[in-house]
Amino acid sequence: MKKLLLLTAATTMFLLAGCSRDYTPVAGESGEDIFKGACMECHEVIEGKENVFYELKSDNKNVEYFTSKIQSGSLLMPKFPNITGDSLKAVSQYALEHSTDKK
């Protein structure tokens, strides 16, 4: 019973920690720099695929997909409410350029 309670508490803390991030890009910062500052904590280069961070289904391989994920987050990904406008476009484009089709 104690193990279950500890596991539930740890899972809840993990999920709540990922709700939102306060990262704020500097004006004019490149998509690469924003990605390094906001995303590299969790996203790494896929082993054996130089400069590729994401493997996506073809219907998700677009800037709108990344924009939505960055703004809204998901179960394990926090949302980044301070990444907006040109910064959001830049980091979304960078992420798209560093993705490949899921096999």
Residue 6 has pLDDT above 70, yes or no: no
Q: What is the pLDDT of residue 22?
A: 87
The CATH number of the domain covering residues in 2-101: 1.10.760
42 pLDDT higher than 60: yes
pLDDT of amino acid 35: 94
CA-nearest of 40, 24, 42 to 32 is: 40
- For the stretch 56-98, pLDDT in tens is 999 999 999 999 999 999 888 999 999 999 999 999 999 999 9
Strand-pairing partners, residue 20, are 79
pLDDT tens figures, 17-38: 446 678 999 999 999 999 999 9
DSSP 99: E
